[in-house]
Amino acid sequence: MSVNIVTTEDLKQFRETLLSDIRELLEKKGKLFLDKWIRSSELMEKLDISPGTLQNLRTNGTIPYSKLEGILYYDQEQIDAIIKERSINLKNNDHEDSHV
């Protein structure tokens, strides 16, 4: 059976490599977290709505948001879920409207 000897220099090199890898992972995770948030201008463009309409959606609680140093941010995943949740099946609506 062979024996490997680990030196202090080996441990230092391992530590530096490990710390570097951890920093890189944290930076990527942080970027992914920030990429999921969009500003008001991006949301207005995405939904093709005016600033007043966006204000109304915030005020009546339809669209959740976060405010950081005066800038409003919206979670893209939450917005997509709200739109999907409120989607209307036209076939069902046409059928329901014909009975009114």
Q: What is the pLDDT of residue 28?
A: 74
- pTM equals 0.56
Q: Looking at domain 8-86, which of 2.40.50, 1.10.1660, 3.20.20, 3.40.50 is its CATH number?
A: 1.10.1660
Closest by CA to 66, choosing from 48, 46, 32, 43, is 43
Mean pLDDT of 6-13: 92
Are the beta carbons of 75 and 36 closer than 8 angstroms? yes
Overall average pLDDT of the 40-68 stretch: 94
pLDDT at 93: 53
- Domains of the chain by residue range: 8-86
pLDDT, residue 26, reads 76
Cα separation, 84 vs 23, in Å, equals 36
Q: Quick one: which H or E segment has residue 14?
A: helix 8-35
How far is C-alpha 8 from the chain's CA centre?
Answer: 43
